[in-house]
Amino acid sequence: MGPASGPDSVSCRDMESLRQRLSGVNIFSGLPDEVLDGFVTNGSTVKYPPGSEIVRQGAQEAGLHLLLSGSAEVIVGDRVVATLGPGEYFGEIAVIDGGPRSATVRSAGDDATKTFRISPAGFWSVVGDNPKALRQLLESLAGMLRNQES
């Protein structure tokens, strides 16, 4: 079972809300509004029916997903290791390196899960035009890795 609907373009009225939500993602925190707006215009929203896969472990499909509504289970092997809700995200590394997914993420609960997705192409089109943003993103990722090591 796949997405209930394909990607939608982001309406202007949603731009500010999505910009605020993106600023809550570690790697995007502190980026200027115009950079966040670039991510918003290069992203899309997708709805997934309950029980459908958003991404599959080992797949090369890349992209960052920010949950807008509903919930999602993170599954490694055959074990649920986390449940995500609105405002939480996954794929921050995959959007950068395009590597295989380390987990399956499946829509959970009784309602559809809606995500905002930024593809690697959309991500790189924004940061490629903004070296300051790229540096800040790399510093944020380095900080996340250091925190995981300690």
pLDDT for the residue 14:
75
Instruction: Tell me how far apart the alpha carbons of residues 54 and 71 are, in angstroms, rounded to a whole number.
Output: 11
Residues 6 or more apart whose CB falls under 8 angstroms from that of 46 comprise: 3, 5, 6, 7, 8, 114, 115, 117
Summarised one tens digit per residue, pLDDT across range 57-116 is 999 877 899 999 999 999 999 999 999 999 999 988 888 888 888 899 999 989 999 999
**What band does 5 get if pLDDT is binned at 50, 70 and 90?**
very low
Q: Which structural domains are found in the chain, ordered by start?
A: 5-149 (2.60.120.10)
| Strand (E) or helix (H) holding 71 | strand 71-76
Strand partners, 125: none
pLDDT for the residue 98:
81
Q: In a 3-state reduction of DSSP, which class is residue 86? A: coil
8 Å CB contact between 18 and 40 = yes
